């Protein structure tokens, strides 16, 4: 008697268990097992070492067949994978990671990746006992990828958001999302808890729908006092400091704009007298490696949002920074609009305290909007969705490329659906309250998209093109290159 040990492993997807009867059949190169009842209740816990007995060994396992028969109730089941240990001591993994909703028999291949040309080869491994099934298996193998992709074509459909912006997956409601891409149970709980606890804190502080003016920046400490950290306290204490303002371009939320400057733009004509009034440095000398520029030209002419409360404003600044001998990055000049004019002065650290502070606040606002819509929404969420949907529509699950890439896509499509409907829709939070919401959102996305290059998505190339290879205290670069090297290897 050949005894096989079957372990059913589950993911943390919400409601992934089933109360139905589960049956399995093992198929190998030398035969197949009888259809065997595994269990009646499959919760989220792993079910270990369930026995499947065969008169003799059935050779190398190729696939398993699973079916779920209704018992008292009709429900769905989401197994992660099935692991089978053979009497010879070999372990076979059968990844599933999909919902089983009906009572049909579903076949799942062993997890070893196969190129399409290997499908027929794997069929030809069957012995005389299996040859009567050879045609069936060969046809299924050769058609399996096509059938799988046809089904995915129906589930993962492209939708145009706006011209010049990446397409995304069409879903008219949450229930249109394929069940395979829903959040895990842990992610669902975490998501809801974070949202609800934040709203409760705002309610307790009396800030929900508050229309009271803040007369000092320190009033921000009223928001989420329970969530204060050493970093948030430091930021609040050093918000006005020029060296911290400069530091944020390297290690703040958006280290993607700054670049080394070897020649001043025509619309930013600063002089030595303006930026180095004590004759301590000269622009000609410092421009050889110590001057940096942040240019927010994509915001030029973008229509600022008007919400139910007030008209909002957007600047399109240019910021010049100087790396001091102490390796601090200090702002030395700011212009808030791209076109020189009498009402568009160049602000300097020698200006009055509040003129200089106001200029820096407008820069921070611009940086926030570019970060949210370009670095975050476009280059993170929307690009990730393009790759995820393309992968699901184009590559069958048995393919090695699919196995390599699919672990990088969890939660992408559901979180993007939530962003599309709760953040950037007409009634979304970003559209309602951000200065680049509404009409400006689409304009900025289109401009950002038109400027994307392949090399800008590759950290080593991007760092080199911006001339930031040797800038000190650039931790985004240091950590990013280490991660890039791990992924590349």
Give the pLDDT of residue 91: 95
Sheet holding 291-295, edge to edge: 259-260, 291-295, 318-323, 329-335, 346-347
Instruction: Indicate if the pLDDT at residue 12 is higher than 70.
Output: no
For residues 190 and 109, state if they share a domain.
no
| Sign of the dihedral defined by the CA atoms of residues 149, 150, 156, 162, in that order | positive
For residues 313 and 398, state if they share a domain.
yes
Residue 250, in any domain of the structure: yes
Residue 478, in any domain of the structure: no
Residue 247, in any domain of the structure: yes
Between 225 and 247, residue with greater pLDDT:
247
Give the pLDDT of residue 191: 73
SS3 304: coil
Instruction: Indicate if the pLDDT at residue 138 is higher than 60.
Output: no
Residue 125, in any domain of the structure: no
For residues 190 and 98, state if they share a domain.
no
For residues 186 and 92, state if they share a domain.
no
Give the pLDDT of residue 141: 52
Q: Are 94 and 66 in contact (CB under 8 A)?
A: no
Return the CATH number at 237. 3.10.450.60
Give the largest CA-CA distance in the chain. Answer: 93
Give the pLDDT of residue 189: 67
Q: What would the mean pLDDT of 310-320 be, rounded to a whole number? A: 93
Between 404 and 272, residue with greater pLDDT:
272
CA distance 279 to 292: 19
Choice among 40-54, 123-137, 259-273 with the minimum mean pLDDT: 123-137
Return the CATH number at 88. 2.60.60.20
For the ranges 33-42, 229-238, 459-468, the maximum mean pLDDT occurs at 459-468
Residue 168, in any domain of the structure: no
Residue 401, in any domain of the structure: yes
Residue 148, in any domain of the structure: no
Instruction: Output the pTM of the full model.
Output: 0.78
- When pLDDT is cut at 50, 70 and 90, the band that residue 174 belongs to is confident
For residues 345 and 220, state if they share a domain.
yes
For residues 210 and 90, state if they share a domain.
no
Q: Are 373 and 444 in contact (CB under 8 A)?
A: yes
- When pLDDT is cut at 50, 70 and 90, the band that residue 220 belongs to is confident
The boundaries of the domain holding residue 439 are 180-452
Domain boundary among 55, 78, 113: 113
Instruction: Indicate if the pLDDT at residue 122 is higher than 50.
Output: no
Q: Are 97 and 407 in contact (CB under 8 A)?
A: no
Is residue 281 classed exposed, middle or buried when 0-12, 13-18 and 19+ CB atoms within 10 A define those classes? middle
pLDDT in tens, 408-450: 888 899 999 988 888 888 888 888 889 999 889 999 999 999 9
For residues 197 and 332, state if they share a domain.
yes
For the ranges 203-217, 422-436, 451-465, the maximum mean pLDDT occurs at 451-465
Q: What would the mean pLDDT of 466-482 be, rounded to a whole number? A: 96
Q: What would the mean pLDDT of 89-98 be, rounded to a whole number? A: 90
Full 3-state SS string of 159-220: ECCCCCCCCEECCCCHHHCCHHHCCEHHHHHHHHHHHHHHHHHHHHCCCCCCCCCCCCHHHH
Between 255 and 63, residue with greater pLDDT:
255
- Residue whose pair of structure tokens reads 């200006």 in the numeric block: 351
For residues 209 and 347, state if they share a domain.
yes
Give the pLDDT of residue 411: 86
For residues 216 and 318, state if they share a domain.
yes
For residues 71 and 196, state if they share a domain.
no
Backbone angles phi, psi at 442, to 5 degrees: -65, -45
User: How many domains does the chain divide into?
Assistant: 2
Q: Are 158 and 389 in contact (CB under 8 A)?
A: yes
CA distance 89 to 343: 80
CA distance 169 to 412: 11
- Residue whose pair of structure tokens reads 């911290």 in the numeric block: 244
Count of CB atoms situated within 10 Å of the CB of 131: 10
Give the pLDDT of residue 195: 77
Strand partners, 310: none
Give the pLDDT of residue 185: 59
Domain boundary among 76, 96, 113: 113
CA distance 415 to 12: 17
Q: What is the DSSP letter of 77?
A: B
- E strand residue ranges, 327-467: 329-335, 346-347
Q: Are 46 and 17 in contact (CB under 8 A)?
A: no
Write down the mean pLDDT value for the chain: 86
Helices and strands in the chain: count of H runs, count of E runs? 15, 16
CA distance 282 to 274: 11
CA distance 352 to 346: 13
pLDDT in tens, 187-208: 766 777 777 777 777 777 777 7
Give the pLDDT of residue 13: 63
Give the pLDDT of residue 180: 76
For residues 288 and 425, state if they share a domain.
yes
Residue 128, in any domain of the structure: no
Give the pLDDT of residue 311: 84
Q: What percent of the chain has pLDDT over 70?
A: 90
CA distance 167 to 188: 26
Give the pLDDT of residue 145: 65
Domain boundary among 113, 138, 161: 113
For residues 247 and 343, state if they share a domain.
yes
Instruction: Indicate if the pLDDT at residue 137 is higher than 50.
Output: no
């Amino acid at each position: 008697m050949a005894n096989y040990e079957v372990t059913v492993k589950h993911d943390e997807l919400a409601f992934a268990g089933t109360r139905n009867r589960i049956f399995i059949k093992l198929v190998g190169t030398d035969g197949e097992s009888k259809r065997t009842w595994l269990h009646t209740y499959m919760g989220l816990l792993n079910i270990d070492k369930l026995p499947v007995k065969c008169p003799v060994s059935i050779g190398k396992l190729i696939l398993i067949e699973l079916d779920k028969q209704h018992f008292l109730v009709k429900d769905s089941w989401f197994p992660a994978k099935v692991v089978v240990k053979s009497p010879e001591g070999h372990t076979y993994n059968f990844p599933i990671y999909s919902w089983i909703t009906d009572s049909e028999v579903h076949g799942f291949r062993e997890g070893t990746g196969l190129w399409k040309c290997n499908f027929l080869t794997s069929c030809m491994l069957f012995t005389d006992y299996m040859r009567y099934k050879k045609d069936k298996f060969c046809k299924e193998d050769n058609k399996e990828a096509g059938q799988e992709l046809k089904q995915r074509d129906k589930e993962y459909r492209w939708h145009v958001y706006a011209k010049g912006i990446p397409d995304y997956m069409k879903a008219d409601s949450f229930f249109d999302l394929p069940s395979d891409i829903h959040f895990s149970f842990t992610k669902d709980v975490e998501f809801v808890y974070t949202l609800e606890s934040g709203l409760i804190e705002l309610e307790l502080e009396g800030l929900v729908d508050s229309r009271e003016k803040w007369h000092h920046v320190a009033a921000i400490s009223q928001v989420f006092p329970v969530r204060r950290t050493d970093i948030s306290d430091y930021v609040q204490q050093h918000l006005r400091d020029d060296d911290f303002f400069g530091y944020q371009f390297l290690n703040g939320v958006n280290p993607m704009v700054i670049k080394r400057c070897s020649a001043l733009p025509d619309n930013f004509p600063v002089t030595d007298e303006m930026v180095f009034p004590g004759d301590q440095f000269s622009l000609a000398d410092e421009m050889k490696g110590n001057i940096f520029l942040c240019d927010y030209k994509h915001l030029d002419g973008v229509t600022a949002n008007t919400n139910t409360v007030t008209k909002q404003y957007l600047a399109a600044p240019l910021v010049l920074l100087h790396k001091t001998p102490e390796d601090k990055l200090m702002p030395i000049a700011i212009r808030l609009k791209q076109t020189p004019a009498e009402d568009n002065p160049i602000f300097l650290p020698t200006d009055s305290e509040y003129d200089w502070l106001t200029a820096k606040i407008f820069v921070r606002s611009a940086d926030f909007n570019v970060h949210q819509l370009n670095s975050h929404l476009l280059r993170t969420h929307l690009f990730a969705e393009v790759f995820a949907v393309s992968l699901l529509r184009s590559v069958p699950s048995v393919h090695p490329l699919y196995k390599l890439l699919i672990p990088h896509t969890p939660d992408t499509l559901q979180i993007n659906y939530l962003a599309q409907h709760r953040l950037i829709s007409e009634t979304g939070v970003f559209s309602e309250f951000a200065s680049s919401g509404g009409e400006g959102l689409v304009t900025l996305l289109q401009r950002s998209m038109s400027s994307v290059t392949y090399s800008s998505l590759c950290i080593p190339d991007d760092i080199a093109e911006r001339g930031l290879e040797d800038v000190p205290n650039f931790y985004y670069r240091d950590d990013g290159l280490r991660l890039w090297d791990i992924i590349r290897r």
